[in-house]
Amino acid sequence: MNMKLELLVLPVSDVDRSRAFYEKAGFRLDLALDVTDDYRVVHLTPPGSESSIIFGQGLTTATPGSAQGLYLVVEDIEEARAELVGRGIEVSEVFHDDKGIFFHGHDAGDVVHHGQGQARITGPHPGRASYGSFATFSDPDGNGWVLQEITQRFPGR
């Protein structure tokens, strides 16, 4: 059985402001529908992605800005960052984790993913190892995105 991630619901406070932000970032507008005065839907897709985002009014009770760790995979982290910055999006400097994105903890089998600012070293991963270079940005509500450079996938992906 195959399962594909298709759609992520983002909690936002201002539908029009969020739509403008994501269109500015280069996301394709797939649908904008005002069903009633209190039910609006905006559906957008990142460039080249098979998965999309949706937000609006009356879609979720989640706190605006509470979606974090939304990954966008790119082939060239510096090029992707430059394109977003060129579109007027505030993006962090490119960085890498001093131990890689995942590392084993003290107990066998423990895997830890570094969060905000922990063990970040400025610049792409030495040797540009696939899965090793990142940049971050947030939408106007604070929903957090991570650009991750992947040039060669792990086997089976």
In this prediction, residue 102 carries a pLDDT of 44
With a cut of 80, say whether residue 108 has pLDDT above it.
Answer: no
pLDDT tens-digit series, residues 30-61:
999 999 999 999 999 999 999 999 999 999 99
Measured in Å, how far apart are the chain's first and last C-alpha atoms?
15
47 with 106, same domain: the answer is no
58 with 9, same domain: the answer is yes
84 with 51, same domain: the answer is no
53 with 83, same domain: the answer is no
In this prediction, residue 85 carries a pLDDT of 98
Structurally, the chain folds into a number of domains equal to 2
154 with 120, same domain: the answer is yes
CATH number at residue 53: 3.10.180.10
With a cut of 50, say whether residue 106 has pLDDT above it.
Answer: no
85 with 106, same domain: the answer is yes
With a cut of 70, say whether residue 63 has pLDDT above it.
Answer: yes
pLDDT tens-digit series, residues 126-157:
888 888 899 999 999 999 999 999 998 877 76
Regarding pTM above 0.85, the answer is yes
Residue 18: domain span: 1-62
81 with 120, same domain: the answer is yes
In this prediction, residue 29 carries a pLDDT of 98
94 with 147, same domain: the answer is yes
CA distance 95 to 117: 10
CA distance 10 to 59: 9
Using alpha carbons, select from 100, 111, 105 the residue that is nearest to residue 134: 100
